[in-house]
Amino acid sequence: MSGRSPTPQPSADLIEEAAAWLAALDAGTASDAAFATWRDADARHAVAFAEVASTWRDLDALRLVAGERDSLPTAAAAPTRPGRRHVLRAAASVAAVMAVGGGLAYRGEARETISTRVGERRSVAAAPSITLDVNTDSEVRWRAGRPFRLWLERGEMAIRLGRGEQAALCVPAGTFRLAPGRYNARLRGESCELAVITGAITDAASGRLGAGEIALLSGDTLGAVVPRAADLPRVTAWQRDTLMLSGESLDYALAEMNRYLPHKIVIGDPALSRLRLGGTFATTSPAEFLRALHASFGIEATTGRGGGIVLTRA
Amino acid sequence: MSWLRDIDRWFMAEVLPHAAAYRARAAHLCGADEADDLVQEAYARVLGSQNHQAILAPRAFTLTVVHHLALERLRRAQVVRIELLASMQLLEVADSAPDAFAVAAGRSELRRLEQLMATLPPQCARVLHMRKVQGMAPAAIAEALSISLSTVEKHIAKGLALMIKARRADEAQAEEACPVVPPHRSRALT
Question: How large is the ipTM?
Answer: 0.75
Facing residue for B165 by CB, picked from A12, A191, A252: A12
Alpha carbon distance A86, A97 (integer Å): 16
In chain A, CATH 2.60.120.1440 sits at 103-231
Note the pLDDT of residue A192: 86
Facing residue for A248 by CB, picked from B101, B110, B117: B101
The SS3 of residue B159 is helix
Which chain A residues have a beta carbon less than 8 Å from that of B3? 25, 32, 35
All structural domains of chain B with their residue ranges: 6-187
In chain A, CATH 3.55.50.30 sits at 235-313
Alpha carbon distance A144, A211 (integer Å): 25
How many Å lie between the alpha carbon of A251 and the closest alpha carbon of chain B? 8
**CATH number at A235-313:** 3.55.50.30
Preferred mutation among B6, B14, B103, B111 to probe A, highest tally of A CBs within 10 A: B111
| pLDDT in single tens digits along all 314 residues of chain A | 544 443 444 566 899 999 999 999 999 999 889 999 999 999 899 999 999 998 888 887 776 555 444 333 333 333 334 344 444 333 333 333 333 333 333 444 557 889 999 989 888 888 878 889 999 999 999 988 878 899 999 999 999 998 888 899 998 878 889 999 999 999 987 788 889 999 999 887 767 888 888 888 877 767 555 556 557 888 888 988 888 887 778 888 888 999 999 888 888 887 787 788 878 888 888 888 898 888 878 888 988 777 888 888 87
Preferred mutation among B2, B59, B141, B160 to probe A, highest tally of A CBs within 10 A: B160
Cβ of B8 within 8 Å of Cβ of A16? The answer is no
In words, the CATH class of domain A103-231 is mainly beta
Give the single-character DSSP code of B17: G
Name the pairing type of β-strands A265-267 and A309-313.
parallel
Alpha carbon distance A182, A294 (integer Å): 37
Note the pLDDT of residue A253: 87
Cβ of A251 within 8 Å of Cβ of B152? The answer is no
pLDDT digits (tens, 9 = 90+) for B64-123: 889 888 888 877 765 555 545 555 544 444 444 444 434 444 444 667 788 888 889 988
Cβ of B58 within 8 Å of Cβ of A224? The answer is yes
Does B152 or A3 have the greater pLDDT score? B152
Strand partners, A215: A194
Does A65 or B6 have the greater pLDDT score? B6
Which chain B residues have a beta carbon less than 8 Å from that of A209? none
Instruction: For chain A, say whether B140 makes contact (Cβ under 8 Å).
Output: no
Instruction: For chain A, say whether B136 makes contact (Cβ under 8 Å).
Output: no
How many Å lie between the alpha carbon of B31 and the closest alpha carbon of chain A? 18
Which chain A residues have a beta carbon less than 8 Å from that of B23? none
Q: Quick check: B189 and B26 in contact, CB under 8 A?
A: no
Note the pLDDT of residue A159: 95
State chain B's mean pLDDT as an integer: 75
Note the pLDDT of residue A227: 56
Which chain B residues have a beta carbon less than 8 Å from that of A234? 99, 101
**CB neighbourhood size of A229 (10 A):** 11
Alpha carbon separation from A145 to A108, A166, A174, B169 (Å, rounded): 16, 10, 19, 52
C-alpha of A272 from chain center: 23
